[in-house]
Structures are given as structure tokens and as C-alpha cells.
């Protein structure tokens, strides 16, 4: 079946540092790929997505590129802020009606001032 693997956290960075959170996937066909973010005490919310190979999703300074050849969707941000501290989830979904989203294990990011 489909699966998503993320780097284990926590990732601890100083403010303004460069962020990379690795994500690789195993899936048949051409799934859509997502990054969700969960701030403390809240539900998950969509951060960005890409629906086909070579697409780049971006939002709030975060970016991720859908790499079919390496089955990866790494999350990057050039300069993190304390407010970016959260748990980040990589996920994939097959483009079938009603199909479930498959999540990675989540990566906790802690940004120190």
C-alpha cells in the first residue's frame, strides 16, 4: 500500500535558520502530495500541496517540489521564525473519489529566538 516517510524530529533551529524537512513516499500512479501543519493545541491545516510531477507548492515562505524521480516532497523555508514552531505532516492522496489521505509520522519543529 501507499506510505509516507518523514525525517524524525524534533528539529531544533535558531530563528532565521534554513529549514529542510525530508519526505519520501511510496505509491502507485501519480498521487497528490501535501504538507499539513499542526500548531500546539490545534487541528491540522493545509500548508501547501502539489498535484503533479515538478509542481512546486508554496505558502507563507515554505516551499516543496514534487519530485517523481526521487519520490520526494521535501519541505523548505529560507528563514524560520519562532511562530513556525509546530508539527509538520507530509501526506499523499490518490486521486480517487473518497480516497483517504495517508500521512507521514510528523516532524516537530522547534525554533528558538
Q: How far is the CB of 90 from other proteins (least distance, A)?
A: 11
Instruction: Output 61 or 105, the one with its CB closest to other proteins.
Output: 105
Instruction: Output 41 or 113, the one with its CB closest to other proteins.
Output: 41
For residue 66, CA distances in Å to 35, 52, 63, 107, 112 come to: 11, 7, 10, 19, 29
Q: What is the DSSP string of 22-73?
A: -EEEE-SS--EEEEEEE-TTS-EEEEEEE-STT-EEEETTEEEE-BTTTTB-
Q: How far is the CB of 83 from other proteins (least distance, A)?
A: 19
Output the nine-digit C-alpha cell for 86: 509546530
Q: How far is the CB of 87 from other proteins (least distance, A)?
A: 5
How far, in Å, CA of 75 to CA of 50, rounded?
12
**Interface contacts to other proteins, rule CB under 8 A:** 32, 34, 36, 38, 41-46, 49, 51, 87, 89, 93, 95, 97-98, 100-103, 105-106, 108
Instruction: Output 29 or 98, the one with its CB closest to other proteins.
Output: 98
Q: How far is the CB of 9 from other proteins (least distance, A)?
A: 9
Instruction: Output 19 or 37, the one with its CB closest to other proteins.
Output: 37
Hunting for cell 500546539 — which residue is that? 40
Amino acid at each position: 500500500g501507499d506510505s509516507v516517510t518523514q525525517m524524525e524530529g524534533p528539529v531544533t533551529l535558531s530563528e532565521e535558520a534554513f529549514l529542510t524537512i525530508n519526505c519520501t513516499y511510496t505509491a502507485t500512479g501519480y498521487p497528490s502530495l501535501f504538507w499539513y501543519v499542526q500548531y500546539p493545541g490545534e487541528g491540522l491545516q493545509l500548508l501547501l500541496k502539489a498535484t503533479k510531477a515538478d509542481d512546486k507548492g508554496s505558502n507563507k515562505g515554505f516551499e516543496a517540489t514534487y519530485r517523481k524521480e526521487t519520490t520526494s516532497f521535501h519541505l523548505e523555508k529560507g528563514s524560520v521564525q519562532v511562530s513556525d514552531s509546530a508539527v509538520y505532516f507530509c501526506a499523499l492522496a490518490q486521486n480517487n473519489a473518497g480516497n483517504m489521505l495517508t500521512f507521514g509520522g510528523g516532524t516537530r519543529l522547534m525554533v528558538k529566538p
